[in-house]
Structure 1
C-alpha cells in the first residue's frame, strides 16, 4: 500500500480519541485513523460512526485501526481489508490506559445495547 493515493504516512493523528465524539461529549466502541490526514473517528459499531462520516465528507478512503495489537487497514472505496500497510506517524495507537469502549467516564452502562451490528 505504500505510495498509493489515500495514504500520507507523515500525517499525525488528530488526537487520542474520536474528534467529533470528544467535542460532543460522546463515546466510542473502537477507533479508526484516516491514513490520509490522521483524523481519528469512531468505528461503524459505535453509535455515531464518525470514521465513515469522515470518508463520506472528505473522500479519504483508507483507515487504520489504532486498537492495541491491530495494524490492519480498511479501504472504504474498495470495500477491502488489508492485513497491514505502511507505518504511520506515531503514535500508532490510542493510549494504553484508554479503555475500549471509551473514553473512561463517558461510556453508558448499557453500552453493548447501543452498538450497531
Structure 2
C-alpha cells in the first residue's frame, strides 16, 4: 500500500519543523508513508497536517506513548494500519507538551489565543 511503509523509521523524537524553529508542540503524529514526525492540530504549528497536505501522505499514527490510533487526513476519519517500525512513540521521559525546556509558561494562553 503506497500510503504505508512499515520499513521506514520515524524522522526523530519530536516535530521536525518545530525543532528547526526552536519551537514546541502539544502532541506528535507520525506519517505512515515516510516517517515524518510532526505536531498535532492542537499545536501552534500544525505541522503533521501541513505535511499531509504538501505531500499527499494521508495516514498518520499517534506518536505518543501508549497510543496506537491512526488518522486519515483525506477521509477525516479514524483509520487502521499495521505495526510501524520502532520506535512507535516519542521517549516517555519527554514531556507533553514538549520538548522539555522549550515550552513557555503561558502555553495554554497561547493556544487559546490561536483558537486551539
Q: TM-score, normalised by structure 1?
A: 0.92
3, 11, 19: which one aligns with 1:14: 11
Structure 1 residue aligned with 2:73:
76
Whether the aligned pair in 2 keeps the contact of 1:71 and 1:85 (CA below 8 Å) is no
| Runs of 4+ with deviation above 4 angstroms | none
Shift of 1:113: 1.8
Question: Which secondary structure does the structure 2 equivalent of 1:36 belong to?
Answer: coil
For structure 2, which runs of at least 5 residues remain unmatched after alignment? none
- Structure 1 spans left out of the alignment, 5+ residues: none
Give the alignment partner of residue 52 of structure 1, picking from 49, 54, 58: 49
Choose the corresponding residue for 1:31, options 12, 28, 36: 28
Query: Which of 79, 102, 106 is residue 102 of structure 2 equivalent to?
Result: 106
* Partner Cα separation in structure 2 for residue 41 and residue 28 of structure 1: 9
Between the two proteins, the alignment pairs up a number of residues equal to: 113
